[in-house]
Amino acid sequence: MSMNTPMHNKRTFLWALLGLAAGAHAHGTKDHPALPQAVKKEQKDWGIAGEIKSARRTIEVRMLDTMRFVPERITVRRGETIRFVVKNTGQSLHEFVIGTKAENEAHAALMLKFPDMEHDEPYMAHVPAGQTGQIVWTFNRAGEFEFACLIAGHYQAGMRGVITVSPA
């Protein structure tokens, strides 16, 4: 029997699609560079990836194993590019992800279902225990946004904070 039947081709195509979809989300256990090599500049509701040379302010955020960030509230002005230095002072992997509350909630729910799901975007920093990460972000839209750790269970335990972007 030939393996080149329409049903076999359809099944092979579906498996290939599943493989591509699975690879489209980066997280897992691989090491992530502190700064992405090629930043994908895509406008999001909460802003766009920034250039380090445009950052006039650095905000340090600590990530704790008590499932908290310090500080938990950050205020910036619309148009401001911020360099976030995120320090993991805990013993487990944490991450700093900027987004809308709805976006982070949806992503956190996916992380519960697929804890090894890979994702790597310019608004995310995955920081191993005792390490430091960095994000450079331009807040070009006013509003209230969220930063969170989306590691399975961390978001649900309250590991999130608020970024208020005031008009320029």
**Does residue 43 sit within a domain?**
yes
**Does residue 19 sit within a domain?**
no
**Does residue 148 sit within a domain?**
yes
What's the CATH number where 61 sits? 2.60.40.420
What pLDDT sits at residue 22? 33
Give pairs for 37-43: CB < 8 Å, separation 24+: 39/122, 40/121, 40/122, 41/122, 43/140
Structure-token pair, residue 68: 């908290």
**Does residue 140 sit within a domain?**
yes
What pLDDT sits at residue 33? 44
Which strand (E) or helix (H) includes residue 111?
helix 101-113
What pLDDT sits at residue 31? 44
Higher pLDDT, 149 or 20: 149
The model scores a pTM over 0.85: no
**Average pLDDT value for residue range 11-30:** 35
How far is residue 79's CA from residue 139's CA, in Å, rounded to a whole number?
Answer: 5
For residue 149, the SS3 value is: coil
What pLDDT sits at residue 116? 81
Q: How many domains is the chain partitioned into structurally?
A: 1
**Average pLDDT value for residue range 90-115:** 94
What pLDDT sits at residue 39? 63
**Average pLDDT value for residue range 120-134:** 95
Read off the pLDDT of residues 55-92 as tens digits, 9 standing for 90 and up.
999 999 999 999 999 999 999 999 999 999 999 999 99
**Does residue 21 sit within a domain?**
no
Residue 57 lies in domain: 28-166
Q: Is the pLDDT confidence value at 11 over 90? A: no
The answer to which of 19-23, 27-31, 93-97 has the lowest mean pLDDT is: 19-23
